[in-house]
A and B are shown apart, each in its own frame.
Chain A
Amino acid sequence: MSLLSVRSLTVHIPRGPLVTRAVENLSFDINRGEVFGLVGESGCGKSMTALAVMGLLPTAARIVKGEIVFENKNLVGQPDSVLRTIRGNRVAMIFQEPMTSLNPVFTVGFQIAELLMTHKGLSKRAGMDMAVDLLGKVKVPSPELRVHQYPHQMSGGMRQRVMIAMALACEPAFIIADEPTTALDVTIQAQILELLEELRESTGTSMLFITHDLGLVSEISDRLTVMYAGAAMEQSEASRVFSRPGHPYTRGLLDSLPVERGRRLRPIPGTVPTAENFPPGCRFSPRCAFRIEACDKAEPELRELQAGHWIRCIRAEEIARA
């Protein structure tokens, strides 16, 4: 039984006479204890998906279709009062920039305690005690001192640990991590990844891990979806996407990565389509090396080629053999 089930989620943002199709017909399920990755480049809709799940979409954006079922309840269309009991409590979020997501005028301890006061009815003193425990759990050194510090007194890595402590405060069933390590240096990122892996072992919390980093997503997630211009292009186990990428876009991303010394890179030509020049048919076809006439006729379906491996490409079988 899946913990979170997103069904045909479609988010549109009207822009004058045009519509930006931020997310289109996106479906995925996340099981208990699973880390599910959403990977793609800027503007592919991965963060919009996270915001939709949290009920935090910008006011201009509209969910025009789809369901977001969490613990057997459809969150789409729920009033904010209901969502507020879920956010930060059953579902928590870790954002990219801990400096902008922490309040600069309160101590980190108070910000953690506030969550517990709101959702668990704890007193301020009990909340602060709990905050010390939580900071210890995310390996902030000398938590009893750090709990009284303000965000600006901490390094980026420490602030991200505080964010994780806040996410864990109410023992959520599910954490959304949106580029949680992007603002950090690699050695600090390694610390945070290690921490997330340990917490996953000890708490069994499921996670939706959103990133643009192909290396990162393949190291941390069990299954993943590759998104492009709002739609899922490929969905499978993480290991399979990298050993046998099925969609030309996934292949293009991997070929663009400078991993092998001296090998000429094979970039994907062109740029991501915008609302003004959205192609008919397959949204990737203008940049695709495998494009044929039929690609421009109709939007291809996401098809299950092998058990658990879904690809949105009419030529997927041929490409797999090539």
Chain B
Amino acid sequence: MPELLRTEALAKHFDSTAGLFGPKTVVRAVDGVSFSMQKGEVFAVVGESGCGKSTLARVILRLTEATAGKAWFDGVDLFGLNRAELKALRRRMQVIFQDPFASLNPRMRILDAVGEPLVIHKEASGPELRQRVYSLLERVGLPNSAAERYPHEFSGGQRQRICIARAMALEPDLIVADEPLSALDVSIQAQVINLLDDLRKQHHLSYLLISHDLHVVQHFADRVAVMYLGVIVEEGTAEDIFNAPLHPYTEALLSAVPEPDPEKRRHRIVLPGDVPSPTQIPSGCRFHPRCPKSFEPCDKVVPGLIENQGRRTACHLVNPV
């Protein structure tokens, strides 16, 4: 499969001040992320709050500018584009956000919300626009009558369908989905997963899925990158990661997910302490203060993300110094 998206040592640092007059600190939200995703793939970035997964998505979408590093979309240097070129490229890269309540303008009819990308990119207007919106709504399982209504008249699941219809309007190649299911109840979440799966098959879509929900990722993703404090600690196929995690953080993360089926339960590994602040990143391996398996080189030597048999791991246990 050809490559769709690649990043190299991507970084996003934010300046922040501790208190009103305190010293300047640097939040290293994304701190050197390199990965490559293929066309047609569902590539998931997982991790806990503050690991930098959403910032990574925003940098790739150029909703915020990268501090360092490079990214290519289908061979095009994403950070070398001028405004017009970026606008043209955005047709091929769309986004769905977590909160379907916040991402729809409450004063815009669904017709205008879903049709807006088509208007901006001068794809359709008038009766043709209406027809296009109808067909988009149909694709996400909503009736034509929805077009005349306002966001408040819809449930969370329906609003997320509307956001998906809007993201589909320009027939993109890539949809960046930042926690698209987190605000939804289980029974509705399953409807939306199936919808995303169908759209992917029908339209040869790729998804960059940002999620903290490991059940969803296990079910839906082809490849998974696990992030911790701004870096990828492990990456591989979903099978590899979920069946045989190599990094101690991945292992602990998977063991901590509550499992309804008593037979599938793993022994719960409880990590001590909290995730350190991204302003004070620990020396050596950034996971070492919480790692149950940390040993001598871990607090001194930064482990590289080393590839072996199609998966990458950043851990001294897996790749001895």
* B residues 135-192 touching A (CB-CB < 8 Å): 155, 157-158, 185-191
Contact present for B219 and A253 (CB under 8 Å): no
Q: Please give the number of chain A residues whose Cβ is less than 8 angstroms from any Cβ of chain B in the complex.
A: 44
Q: Residue B271 at the A interface, CB < 8 A? A: yes
Contact A215 B216 (CB under 8 A): no
Q: Which residues of A contact B252 (CB under 8 A)?
A: 187, 190
Beyond A260-B219, A267-B194, whether A189 also contacts B256 by CB under 8 A is yes
Contact (Cβ within 8 A) A242 B257? no
B220 with A271: CB separation less than 8 A: no
Counting CB contacts under 8 A, is B270 at the interface? yes
Tell me, yes or no, whether A42 is within 8 Å of chain B by CB: yes
Contact code string A248-272 (vs B, CB < 8 Å = 1, else 0): 0000111111111111111111010
Cβ of B268 to closest chain A Cβ, rounded Å: 6
Do residues B270 and A258 form an inter-chain contact, with CB atoms below 8 A? no
Evaluate whether A242 and B260 lie within 8 angstroms (CB atoms) in the complex, with A41-B187, A256-B190, A257-B186 already known.
Answer: yes
A186 with B242: CB separation less than 8 A: no
Least CB distance from B303 to A in Å reads 20
- The chain B residue sitting closest to A215, CB to CB, is B258
- B residues 221-264 touching A (CB-CB < 8 Å): 238-239, 242, 252-253, 255-262, 264
**Known contacts A185-B212, A186-B214, A258-B216, A267 near B188 by CB under 8 Å:** yes
The answer to whether B187 touches A243 (Cβ under 8 A) is no
Q: Which of B262, B268, B269, B275 contacts A243 (CB 8 A)?
A: B262
Cβ–Cβ contact A41 & B48, under 8 A:
no
**What is the 8 Å Cβ interface bit string for chain B, positions 257-285, against chain A (1 contact, 0 not)?**
11111101100111101110000000000
Collect the chain B residues with CB atoms within 8 Å of residue A41's CB: 185-187
* B185 adjacent to A259 (CB under 8 Å): no
A205: min CB distance to chain B, Å: 21
Contact B187 A258 (CB under 8 A): no
User: Is B257 touching A186 in the complex (CB atoms < 8 A)?
Assistant: yes
Cβ of A239 < 8 Å from any Cβ of B?
yes
Q: Is B199 an interface residue (CB 8 A)?
A: no
- A41, A252, A254, A266 — most chain B CB neighbours (10 Å): A41
Is there an interface contact between A185 and B49, defined as CB atoms closer than 8 Å? yes
Are A259 and B190 neighbours in the complex by a CB distance under 8 Å?
A: no
B residues in contact (CB < 8 Å) with A: 48-49, 155, 157-158, 185-191, 193-194, 197, 212, 214-216, 218-220, 238-239, 242, 252-253, 255-262, 264-265, 268-271, 273-275
**A residues whose Cβ falls under 8 Å from a Cβ of B:** 41-42, 141, 155, 157-158, 185-191, 193-194, 212-216, 218-219, 239, 242-243, 252-269, 271
Nearest first, the 9 A-B pairs at minimum CB distance are A258-B219, A215-B258, A267-B190, A256-B190, A185-B48, A190-B256, A41-B185, A268-B187, A216-B258
